[in-house]
Structure 1
Amino acid sequence: MKYKLYHYPFFAILSLVTFAFIFQSCGEDEMSEEEKAKNTIIATFENIRRIYSEEGLLKIKIEAPLEYIYQNEDLYYPSNFRVSMYDTKGKITTTLTADSGRYERISKLYHAYGNVEVVNYEQEQKVNTPELHWNEFKREIYTEKEIAVKTPTETLYGIGMTSNETFSKYKVWQPTGSFIYKERTQGFEKPDSTDMQNQKNTSYSNLQQSLPTQ
Structure 2
Amino acid sequence: MKSELSSKKNIIKTASGILLLAVLIFTYACSSNKPEEIKAIEKIQEIPSLELEDYETFVTDSGKVKYHITTPHLLQYDKVEDPYKEFPKGGHIITYDSINVIKSEIKCQYAINHDKEKLWDLRNNVEAINEEGVIFNTEQLFWNEKEKRIYTDKFIKITTEDKIITGYGLEADQSLNNYEIKNVSAVLGVDEEMQ
| TM-score, structure 1 as length reference | 0.65
Structure 2 residue 118 is the aligned partner of structure 1 residue 108: yes
**What displacement does 1:174 show?**
0.8
2:91 alignment counterpart:
81
> What are the superposed Cα offsets for residues 56-89 of structure 1, whole Å, 9 maximum, x if unpaired?
2111111101110112331001113110011222
> What are the superposed Cα offsets for residues 41-70 of structure 1, whole Å, 9 maximum, x if unpaired?
111111111211222211111110111011
Structure 2 residue 141 is the aligned partner of structure 1 residue 163: no
Cα pair distance change 1:156/1:24, threshold 3 Å: same
**What displacement does 1:162 show?**
1.1
Q: What is the aligned counterpart of 1:45 among 48, 52, 56?
A: 52
Asked whether the equivalents of residues 166 and 187 of structure 2 are also in contact (C-alpha less than 8 Å), the reply is no
Q: Identity, % of aligned pairs? A: 21
Structure 2 residue 68 is the aligned partner of structure 1 residue 68: no
Amino acid at match of 1:58: V
State the distance in 1 between where 2:185 and 2:149 align: 23
**More deviation, 84-93/151-160:** 84-93
1:96 alignment counterpart:
106
> What are the superposed Cα offsets for residues 167-213 of structure 1, whole Å, 9 maximum, x if unpaired?
0001211112348xxxxxxxxxxxxxxxxxxxxxxxxxxxxxxxxxx
2:181 alignment counterpart:
172
State the distance in 2 between where 1:161 and 1:176 align: 13
Provide the alpha-carbon RMSD of the alignment: 2.3
Cα pair distance change 1:81/1:89, threshold 3 Å: same
Structure 2 residue ranges without an equivalent (≥5):
1-33, 189-195
Structure 2 residue 24 is the aligned partner of structure 1 residue 24: no
Q: Which has the larger radius of gyration?
A: 2
> What are the superposed Cα offsets for residues 76-110 of structure 1, whole Å, 9 maximum, x if unpaired?
01113110011222122211000011111122111
Amino acid at match of 1:162: E
Q: What is the aligned counterpart of 1:154 among 158, 163, 175?
A: 163
Cα pair distance change 1:152/1:138, threshold 3 Å: same
State the distance in 1 between where 2:94 and 2:63 align: 17
State the distance in 2 between where 1:62 and 1:83 align: 5
| TM-score, structure 2 as length reference | 0.71
2:15 alignment counterpart:
none
**What displacement does 1:25 show?**
3.4
Aligned pairs, number: 153
State the distance in 2 between where 1:156 and 1:136 align: 26
